Each structure stands twice: as C-alpha cells, then as structure tokens.
Amino acid sequence: MSTPFRVPDDLVAHGLEFIPDGLVAAVGPERTVRFMNSPAERITGLRAGDVVGQDIREALPLQDLAGAYWWELTDPWHGLTTRTGHRERLLVLPSGRELLVTAKYLRDETGSPVRAVVLGLRDAEARRRAEAEGAALLTTVAHELRSPLTGVKGFSSTLLRNWDRFTDDQKRLMLETIEADADRVTRLITELLDASRIDVGRLTVHAQPLDARSRLQAQVERRVASGADRLHFVVDVPDDLGPLWADPDRLEQVVANLVDNAVRHGRGTVRLSAQPARLGDRPAVDLLVADDGHGIAPQHRELVFSRFWQGGAKHGTGLGLYVVRGLVEAHGGVVVVEDAPGGGALLRATFPDRET
C-alpha cells in the first residue's frame, strides 16, 4: 500500500503554491477541500479561506456548458473504480467564470476507493482570446479575398459578354487587372499557409547564391508594372557585394512584404538596399527597406513581428512581418526594426553566408 496522501504539506513542499496553474485538493469520503493555491483563487475568484474545509462539490459547483452539474456527471467517488481522472474540459462556475479543469483521482491501488481528488485549473481567457483572434482572422481574410475576387469576377464577366465592344487596349487593361487581382489572392493564400507552417515549425528553405541587386530591382519593376511611380523607389547595392544566400521564392516574399509595409506606412520614397554584414562570426548580407513615414516607436519594434499586428493600418491581414521574421529565421538570419537615416522606419533582414 502506498504512503498516505498528505495535504497540504506534500503540495507546498513541492512548490505547487507557486506554479501558474490553480490546484485544489479534496480528501476523504467527505470530499473536504484541504488545499487551494493562490492561482486557483485568482482563476476562480474565490478565497481559499472560504473554500478550504468545505465539500468540494459545494465549494466549486462546476457545470458543463449545457448547464449540467458536473460532479453528478463525473462522480469520482462512486464511479468506475478503474478511472484515474479526466482530461481538460471547459466548465463554468455559477459566477459565469469559465475554467479549464483537469482532474486526477488518487487511489491506494487500482480498484480501491478514491481517497483524494486533485483539480488542475486554468483560466479559459487565453482560449477565448485565441478563438477571438481566429474569428478576426477569418473576417479579415474574407474581406481581403472578396475585393480581388470581385474584380476578377466583374472584369471576366464583362469581357465574356461584351468582347467585341472593347478595343484591344481596353481588353489588355482588363486582363492585366484580372492578373493583378489573381496574384493578390495567391499572395494572401501563400501568406496564410506560411504562417501556419511557421506556427508548427515546418517551414523549409533551399538557399542558393543570388544577386541582390537584380532581386531588388525585379521587385521595383513589378510595382511599376502594377501602376506605381518608378520615382518612388530607389535601389542601392554596391557593385562588389557578394552573393546573398537565400531561397529565391522565399526571398521574393520577404522583399515583397517589406516593400508592402514601407508603401503602406510611408509617405513617398521607398529605399531598397543591400550591404555586406556579419552575423556572429559569419559573413552575411543585410537587406534593407526604408520608408519616410513616421517610423516605429521603440516599444512596438518587437510587436510588429507578432501575428495580426497592423499598427493602425486599415487593411491587410497583419501577418506580413510575422511571415518575414519566420522566413528570415528559417534561413538562419535575423530581422530587426531601426530608424531610417532620413526618418521613418528601416527594416534590416540579415542573411548569413551558407558557404561558410
């Protein structure tokens, strides 16, 4: 037979008063609460002095989301003698507080009566926030998809029904608009997929030596072809700069997202540059994109790389810079925010040399 269960001495001795999760322990056939730590007080909104010494079923009258009395449903003391507890469930107190509850049933041996029940409690607010973020993302994605898809549908329908009424120049303009909107949808879907891969640690890159100048200039040409003013972009790369080691497709995403951010928050010229650098003891290449906007406050310079950060922007998913950091780190590099020389924000992405 095992050593008798001691509450609260055993719990306190193991530092359980100081863990972030709440713990409540009830012992004996009277189901008397003998221990409740401070996190449990915070999570339940109840005082330990009012709970300890009470029947746990009365002190914590937990219900499921359908309103059923949870202690009657689970009944640890008279249920199956083989049960050892249950996994985390979302339960509710009469006050309306939602808790994530895990239970452990302690027995002297398999099949013997339950001598203690220990509840692990977590605040359900984090789950609610995650659900709210998911709902907000769905709303944002629906909005971001609807705009280009409406354009694709409108122009394609117009061309199909009135093809002979338009000049070749008009047809070309409509087709170019359809292509641009389709590219926008593709970028959004790619961004969402990459964010998901970053979350689960499954993002892969295949780095190879690339010419930084041609990659930055290609991004400018795509912007100009989409209607941007060429004079709003400056590319500055020294002639003797070595190769930038990166996955070509991933580098295009990084540059596109950095330029998107600069255009959205800047007020005029966007400067794209590259320069030799060091990352620890390894040679590297810094890729820099600067705008002439209001800049990013120091207290926000880490937040901009978090999921759904929009910083006052009225459009976008808020995933752009989150994906940028994930892609750069997948290359073994780092990305930071600094002040641009002429004001505004400068984002510096450092890619290490893979040959060394």
pLDDT, tens digit, for every residue of 2-12?
455 555 555 55
User: What does the DSSP 8-state code read for residue 323?
Assistant: H
Beta strands in the chain, from DSSP E residues, in sequence order: 22-27, 32-36, 85-92, 98-107, 114-123, 208-210, 233-236, 244-246, 270-279, 282-290, 334-339, 345-352
User: What does the DSSP 8-state code read for residue 5?
Assistant: P
Taking the whole predicted model, whether its pTM rises above 0.75 is answered as no
Element (H, E) at 168: helix 168-200
Query: What backbone phi and psi angles, to 5 degrees, belong to 269?
Result: -80, 135
Q: Domain limits of the chain?
A: 9-123, 133-200, 208-352
pLDDT at residue 181 in the model = 85
pLDDT at residue 147 in the model = 78
Rounded to whole angstroms, the Cα distance separating 188 from 184 reads 6
Pick the CATH number of 208-352 from 3.30.300.20, 3.30.2010.10, 3.40.50.300, 3.30.565.10: 3.30.565.10
pLDDT at residue 46 in the model = 94
pLDDT at residue 201 in the model = 80
User: What does the DSSP 8-state code read for residue 63?
Assistant: B
How many helices (H) and strands (E) the chain has is answered by 10, 12
Rounded to whole angstroms, the Cα distance separating 253 from 197 reads 15
pLDDT at residue 168 in the model = 92
Rounded to whole angstroms, the Cα distance separating 23 from 60 reads 12
Give pLDDT < 70 ranges for the chain.
1-18, 126, 130, 133, 136-137, 140, 308, 310-317, 356
Rounded to whole angstroms, the Cα distance separating 57 from 26 reads 10
Residue pair 4/11 in contact by the 8 Å Cβ criterion:
no
CATH T-level topology, domain 133-200 = Helix Hairpins (1.10.287)
Domains 9-123 and 133-200 share a fold: no
Element (H, E) at 88: strand 85-92
Helices 248-265 and 212-225 pack at an angle, to 10 degrees, of 50
Pick the CATH number of 9-123 from 2.60.120.260, 1.10.3720.10, 3.40.50.720, 3.30.450.20: 3.30.450.20
Residue pair 181/151 in contact by the 8 Å Cβ criterion:
yes
pLDDT at residue 1 in the model = 45
Residue pair 199/130 in contact by the 8 Å Cβ criterion:
no
